Structure 1
Amino acid sequence: MPHSDCPPLPTAGTPSCFPTPERPEGDKADCFWQTHHDELRDHRSTSELPSHSDIVIIGAGLAGVSTAYHLTKDGGSSKSITILEARGACSGATGRNGGHCRPDFYGHIPTYMDRAGDRAGAEIAEFEIANLRALKKVIERESIDCDFTLARSVDVWCNEEAAKSAKAVYDRMVAAGFDYMDDVVFYTGDQVEGICGVKGAKACASFTAGTMWPFKFVMHLIKKVLTLGVNLQTHTPVESITRDTQGGYILDTPRGRIHADNVIHANNAYVSGLLPEYGKNIIPCKGICSRITVPEGTTAPLLNNSYINRTEDNTLSYFIPRADGSIIVGGAAKLFRSHEEQWYDNVNDGVLIDSAKDYYNGYMQRTYRGWEDTGAKVDKIWTGVMGYSFDSNPHIGHVPEKDGQFILAGFNGHGMPVIWLAAQELAKMVSNGVPFEKTSMPRLFQTSQFRIDRAQAGKVEDGDILGTGNFAATKP
């Protein structure tokens, strides 16, 4: 559920930061991605929890399962690995997002350049571009059927002032001399609407991005890691973690306890439930997503590109077209930003965001040329819980002051362009003792006591909880 466009909000209270139970009926049916049946969704490798595992991964979404895959592929196969998932596999944000693997070429990169220098900003863009290429390679190598496409993504601005600001950002990025900007084309002028197909467009840009069915991707990886000896335990929430006086950690669950030498926190929005020091660093925030279809027998106008659309009143939506003619579209955060209780510091993904639930009715007809008489309508609509960080960067690496614990979380609704490659690098840290500085990860992604303390001491309005670029950071 990427690309929220909300400003910082007042400090929240302490959340009950654990996943809400899935409803017996409804949750899977509401979300289009999870209508694909997979027998491994509720899998338990063994009837009882193992008493010990060298590595325990908390979370069976993209972050946790990708880490398990890389651990088994890159020198960790001799170690026992257990994945503990509070609900069904891939039931959280990964299984509820927009299916958009879209690197940030220029959007927030100037913010990171201002914070830590041009090279730090470029590191993030280059890492996300490399992540997309790495995903393409693994999908081809493993023959993963997940509807992956590599195409163009189109940014659209329908507000004149916003279009001018976007052009200024683009010009700044070109002037910085980053090679990857050669892949970006920016359009202004009278023909913009004809180029992008969006009514009232004042400017648009395009660059390479990917789309996919995230649930299918993760479930294929699960099948692979299970054949390599990984133990998956679904519907097994971790309730507490305590240090064992003999070494390692004890993880308590409703089904018993398990001892681990290393613990990897890959549960994103829920991470502060077990790591309270991250309580003000990673905040659970709900987003909304939907599937739009046309009536049977109607041929939908062809759309080859994914989009980020911004209306004249700057309401942002992201969407991907699918080969079956349907559209996955979400966002509209401008509509619910003032209704904080509906989405901010809220982990209930079984309840729609009331103030935005009707926004996508008629969306294609009022937005795109050629869709006026298609009868397109919302087929399914759902929510997902994302983890937004205080400074808009994910937290990755060693958990400070907790030897043997690692974190891969806080993706700000932008995990698809980051997680796969970040999991590969974290696996090197866990299995081979590689320090963060020797990985390929951007320096601003490294979790640290400095970042934790800064969020704990600050107010949310001093930060950049939702990636608006307002955070004035000291160089980490």
Structure 2
Amino acid sequence: MPARTHDLPTRTRDSSSQCFPANNPGETFWQTTQHKLHDHRSTEQLPEHSDIVIVGAGYAGVSTAYHLVKDHGDVNKSIAILEARGACSGATGRNGGHARPDFYGHIPTYVDRAGARAGAEIAEFEINNLRALKKIIEQEKIDCDFTLTRSIDVWCNAEAAEKAKCVYDRMVAEGFEYMDDVVFYNGDNVEGICGVKGAKACASFTAGTMWPYKFIMHLVELIVDAGVNLQTNTPVTSVTADPEGGFIVETPRGKMHAGKVVYANNAYVSGVLPQYKKNIVPCKGICCRITVPDGVTAPLLNNSYINRTEDNVLSYLIPRADGSIVVGGAAAVFRKHEDQWYDNVDDSILIDSAKDYYNDYMQKTYSGWEDTGAKIDKIWSGVMGYSYDSNPHIGNVPGGNDQYILAGFNGHGMPVIWLSSKELAKMIIQDIPFEQTSMPRLFQTSQFRIDRALNGKTEDGDILGSGKFPATKP
């Protein structure tokens, strides 16, 4: 089914406009072959009413629908998903395929802000999320190249390596049991252990890699078969309270009525919830696939990586079974060019200042790759939702009964969303508060967090201020 671009309003981003996806996203490796339901519409017209309307058909929206259907199907609620473009056309279908929990990257910041237990909650939740992903992929027999592996953190700057060892020691001293899975290496053998030229320290722990688009689209098939009404190429332009109860959801294709609304549109959430404008900001990133010429055998990489160069440029990398490499990041390269990435929703074009960074990346970075002829096969950009304080916003929208948000993943949604959506589904169906879920306390959206961002200076937030972007994790 061709994309229905005639249904989409013209959407450009400036300081006064609303926040909506660009009409023409660039092609990614993951979506070279689009799924048959990519531009699916379950019914020719919008349903007049759905008990639950989900805004966004990416990882967050589709997972929430899956849990509503599979975990609470006996409640018999009608569900509709409205997606501005094709299913999984946003950040999930444009990321690096890295399901990597945060063991110590940003956890010390959370510990400093809210105490050791609050920091540990996040790490433990993300580790459990990885296990749950493995379980559901096996249970539903999802063909998405999922691999449980070791992820290798690498520091090539001596000072950064020393700081990393201090962080590691601090996390061990906190007594966090999950740190038993981490092995830290420094000394003369580091380069030989990780294979990265000039490495001064490295650490490893359990993580996962996958084909994210295939994972989500398999879930889309399951929920559509279960009766969820999917309406792609149908951007939600406004949601207003109906005086008679529920909500009026407006789109360029008409209006529909919703009993409850779930905002799962991540970077674009302020387009319909303007109070989140400074809380969740669209920020572009860059990612690419690297291949070697036919007939060339490159050294085997069994692990995923986070590499930090001597000048502290961070890249995340996964090896694929077909011999190719997916790598992205390089935020430090384009950080100073704010107009190219900050508050920018145009994923149809690359980030100009970083588009050439990954040329010869494997040859420059990994021992044994010098003569492989490895080169970029495809490169793309994606739009992530970065929050003011680096935590996602999940739960009841403050002051909005029967409205829920699951957004603001800071380029780190893969290790967070699956279990978060499961717990949010429980909140929606059982009408329980956030505190009765298993989600980390720092994930809860609140008026306090909203006001702090609205009243604070942009440079004081984590995106531009204390260093969450460039990301410490992919």
- Normalising by structure 1, what TM-score? 0.94
Match of 1:136 among 134, 137, 151: 134
Q: Which residue, out of 60, 69, 72, partners 2:69?
A: 72
- Contact between 1:188 and 1:203, CA under 8 Å: does it hold in 2? yes
Decide which of 342, 345, 357 is 2:343's aligned counterpart: 345
* CA displacement, residues 315-345 of structure 1 (integer Å, 9 cap, x when unaligned): 0100100000000000011111111111100
1:36 Cα deviation from its structure 2 partner: 2.8
Counterpart position of 1:254? 252
Which residue of 15, 18, 21 corresponds with 1:16? 18
Aligned to 2:403: 405
Change beyond 3 A, Cα 1:134–1:244: same
Does residue 51 of the first structure (1) align with residue 48 of the second (2)?
A: yes
CA distance in 1, matches of 2:17, 2:254: 25
- Determine the C-alpha separation between the residues in 1 that align with 2:73 and 2:346: 35
Could you say what secondary structure the match of 1:378 adopts? strand
Equivalent position to 1:244, from 242, 250, 257: 242
Task: Report the RMSD for the aligned CA atoms in angstroms.
Answer: 1.3
Is 1:334 the equivalent of 2:332? yes
Alignment of 1:57-206 (within 5 A): 57-76=54-73, 78-206=76-204
- The one-character-per-residue Cα deviations of 1:171-193 (angstroms, maximum 9, x if unpaired) are 00000001000000000000000
Question: 1:201 corresponds to which letter in structure 2?
Answer: A
Alpha-carbon distance between aligned partners in 1 of 2:312 and 2:274, rounded to the nearest angstrom: 35
Unaligned runs of 5+ in 1: 1-11, 472-476
Q: What is the CA-CA distance between 1:290 and the residue it aligns to?
A: 0.2
> Which among 315, 318, 323 is matched to residue 317 of structure 1?
315
Deviation at 1:297, TM superposition (A): 1.1
In structure 2, the residue matched to 1:5 is: none
Q: Which residue of the partner structure matches residue 305 of structure 2?
A: 307
* CA positional deviation for 1:253: 0.6
Tell me the CA shift for residue 461 of structure 1: 1.7
CA distance in 1, matches of 2:73, 2:348: 36
- CA distance in 1: counterparts of 2:266 and 2:317, whole angstroms: 23
Check the 8 A contact 1:157/1:309 in 2, yes or no.
yes
Cα distance between partner residues in 2 of 1:342 and 1:468:
20
Between Structure 1 and Structure 2, how many residues are aligned? 455
Could you give the per-residue CA deviations for residues 254-283 of structure 1, whole angstroms, max 9, x where no partner exists? 111110010000000000000000000000
State how far apart, in whole Å, the 2-side matches of 1:470 and 1:348 are: 21
Change (3 A) 1:393 1:127: same
Q: Deviation of residue 468 (structure 1)? A: 4.3
Aligned AA (1:51): E
Does 2:376 match 1:378? yes
Q: CA deviation at 1:470?
A: 7.9
Residue 299 of structure 1 aligns to a residue whose secondary structure is coil
Q: Report which structure shows greater RCO (CA 8 Å, sep ≥6).
A: 1
Q: Name the structure 2 match of 1:395.
A: 393
Q: Quick one: distance in 2 between partners of 1:106 and 1:436?
A: 25
Give the structure 2 partner of residue 474 of structure 1. Answer: none
Tell me the SS of whatever aligns to 2:404: strand
In structure 1, what is the Cα distance between the partners aligned to 2:432 and 2:221?
Answer: 28
**Which whole-Å CA distance do the structure 2 matches of 1:470 and 1:271 have between them?**
20
Q: CA deviation at 1:227?
A: 1.3
Question: How far apart are the structure 2 equivalents of 1:460 and 1:397?
Answer: 24
What is the rounded CA distance, in whole Å, between the counterparts of 1:58 and 1:371 in structure 2? 44
Offset at residue 467 of structure 1 (A): 8.6
Render the CA deviation track for 1:297-330: whole Å, top value 9, x for unaligned.
1112100000000000000100100000000000
Counterpart Cα distance in 2 of 1:434 and 1:412: 26
SS of 1:347's partner is coil
Task: Return the alpha-carbon distance in structure 2 between the equivalents of residues 136 and 14 of structure 1.
Answer: 43
Instruction: For residue 434 of structure 1, report the CA deviation from its aligned partner.
Output: 1.9
Give the Cα–Cα distance (whole angstroms) in 2 for the partners of residues 201 and 15 of structure 1. Answer: 45
Contact conserved, 1:287 with 1:384, CA < 8 A, in 2?
A: yes
Sort the Cα spacing of 1:467 and 1:417 in 2 relative to 1 into closer, same or farther, 3 A. Answer: farther
Q: 3-state SS of the aligned residue for 1:375?
A: coil
Q: Is the 8 A contact 1:388 1:466 kept in 2?
A: no
Query: 2 CA distance for matches of 1:414 and 1:470?
Result: 11
Residues 330/439 of structure 1: CA separation in 2 closer, same or farther (3 Å cut): same
Letter in 1 for 2:49: H
> Post-superposition shift, 1:73?
1.2
Partner of 1:41: 38
3-state SS in 2 of match to 1:75: helix
User: In the aligned structure 1, how far is the partner of 2:267 from the partner of 2:327?
Assistant: 22
2:390, 2:468 within 8 Å by CA — same for their partners in 1? no
SS in 2 for 1:132: helix
In the alignment, residue 464 of structure 1 is paired with which amino acid?
D
Note the alpha carbon deviations across 1:390-434, whole angstroms, 9 max, x for none: 000000000011111100000000000000000000000001112
Q: Distance in 2 between matches of 1:64 and 1:86?
A: 12
Report the Cα offset of residue 15 of structure 1: 5.3
Write the distance in 2 (CA, Å) between the matches of 1:15 and 1:122: 39
Closer, same or farther: CA 470–68 of 1 in aligned 2, 3 Å: closer
TM-superposed CA distance for 1:466, in Å, is 5.9
